[in-house]
Amino acid sequence: MKKRNVILTVIAASLASLLAACGTAGPAATEASTPEPTPVSTPEPETSNVLVAYFSWSGNTAEMAAHIAEQTGGDLLEIQPATPYPEDYGECGDVALAERDGNARPEIANLPENLSGYDTLLIGYPIWWHTAPMIIGTFLESYDLTGVDVYPFTQSASMDEEQFANSMAFVADCAPGAAVHDGLFVRPSDTAGIDAYLAENGLAAGEAQSTYTFTAQETYFQRDGLNIYARLYVPDVQGARPAVIYSHGFGGTHASGSQYAEELAGHGYVVCAFDFCGGSPQSRSGGATTEMSIFTELADLNAVIDALSALDFVDAENIFLLGTSQGGAVSALAAAGRPEEIRGLVLLYPAFVLVDEANSLYQSAADIPDTTFFMWMDVGRAYFEPLLGYDIYAAIAPYERDVLILHGDADGIVPLEYSERAQETYTSAELHVLPGAGHGFYGSDADTANGLILDYLNSHTI
């Protein structure tokens, strides 16, 4: 059977802040936000097998979708809600929040009967309340996407990768049987980054699809009676291979690591991306967010290291850790505790700042409430209390092998100075600063990161 390749491209409009609800900063929409329901038949492609479908509130998504359609030669379809969203920013946010909390599936006015004429689908939307608008669920669940390759894509000025990862998890849940690949998250108007992504993935008009030879599979590991969900990317080659374990950041999931996992698996590395127990409301692992701390996540990571090292297709002499944000801090702690077992350590914008944040919020354990809404989810006393007076730099120092650190100089969540101090703490560490990059690497920044990571892995594998 011929494999159908469908790429779901998620284009997100920027938000005013991490907790903003709709579209871009500012309430005014720049596009017509009250479309009249119109009858629609299934699009009939003439020379293109690519459909670019999008939902847009402010106009940014529509602009991006038009650019992508031009570059791919695809047909364009706007997803129009049967009940238009309010034009007022605050009112739109209220509606979006109610839909998210109720897991609603808003009706679409112009839903095509089927998408059978297309091999490739790109779908765009803004990030609303830390995930995709529920109308995207309506669209995806209207079709059988079994066997489809899904590539989320988003553009935004102010969002971070964990919220993008939440939207990817939502896409995966709404498209059962599909393979959700690494997505693209770029700053607004970064057409160079968009074009580079399209070319890299064989989506630009006239280019061939990327041919990675690996198998993605789901599995579960165990830690203290809790299930740890993991996605393994296994190269289709004989023998044991070096392995990379990806650890996501605060409030994220394994999905945020797919852009690294696919690239590394395509170069012969086994990659394991997993969900921390209680790591986010979207986690497929056990545990609650109110029970999570960097130390429970450290226990999770150690359990994954043990389990992965025992697999016959993994070279236990070449285990590497790759962590982003809070997952970077946890990976650093794990490497310090197992310096002889961990061949190498890669940290992307590691959140060593979390200790200072905890100590600035609470002066003593008595001040910590049982539950705190922190950033964008509830955490418990267990998250903050162990960090009071904790010296995380002393804790990571015992790892004396080479460390690669990547950090953007425009990171508004973890200042660059925390990685600079880590570089000074380690016996041997190399810090690469990505100009203009924020808390998360997307587009050309992601390409740069992948290149540096591969160079490091290739030079440290024995």
- Among the listed ranges 39-53, 212-226, 314-328, which one has the minimum average pLDDT value? 39-53
Average pLDDT over residues 317-344: 96
Read off the tokens for 185.
Answer: 């998250």
Question: For residue 67, is pLDDT > 50?
Answer: yes
- Residue 13 is predicted with a pLDDT of 37
Q: How large a percentage of the chain has pLDDT more than 90? A: 50
What digits encode the pLDDT tens for the residues 80-133? 999 999 989 899 999 999 999 999 999 999 888 887 766 678 888 888 988 889
**CA pseudo-torsion sign 135, 51, 67, 442:** positive
Please compute the mean of the pLDDT values over residues 346-368 and round it to a whole number. Answer: 94
**What's residue 393's pLDDT?**
97
Give the pLDDT score at 148.
Answer: 67
Residue 165 has pLDDT above 90, yes or no: no
Rg of the chain (C-alpha set): 22
pLDDT digits 0-9 by tens, 376-402: 889 999 999 999 999 999 999 999 999
Kindly indicate whether the domain formed by 50-200 is annotated with CATH number 3.40.50.360: yes
CATH 3.40.50.360 domain locations along the chain: 50-200
Architecture of the 214-460 domain: 3-Layer(aba) Sandwich (3.40)
Average pLDDT over residues 247-269: 90
pLDDT-based confidence at 26, cuts 50/70/90?
very low
Q: pTM for the whole thing?
A: 0.60
What gap in Å lies between CA 334 and CA 342, rounded to an integer? Answer: 9
Name, of 153-162, 205-214, 264-273, the range with top average pLDDT: 264-273
Q: Are 326 and 292 in contact (CB under 8 A)?
A: no
CA 268 to chain centre: 22
For CATH 3.40.50.1820, list the domain ranges present in the chain.
214-460
Q: How far apart (Å, rounded) are the C-alpha atoms in residues 362 and 369?
A: 10
Give percent above pLDDT 70 in the chain: 84
- The most confident of the ranges 20-29, 31-40, 64-73, 423-432 is 423-432
Per-residue pLDDT at 70: 81
Q: Quick check: 449 and 440 in contact, CB under 8 A?
A: no
CA atoms within 13 A on the CB side of 103: 4
Q: How much is the average pLDDT of 198-224?
A: 76
Question: Does residue 140 surpass a pLDDT of 80?
Answer: yes
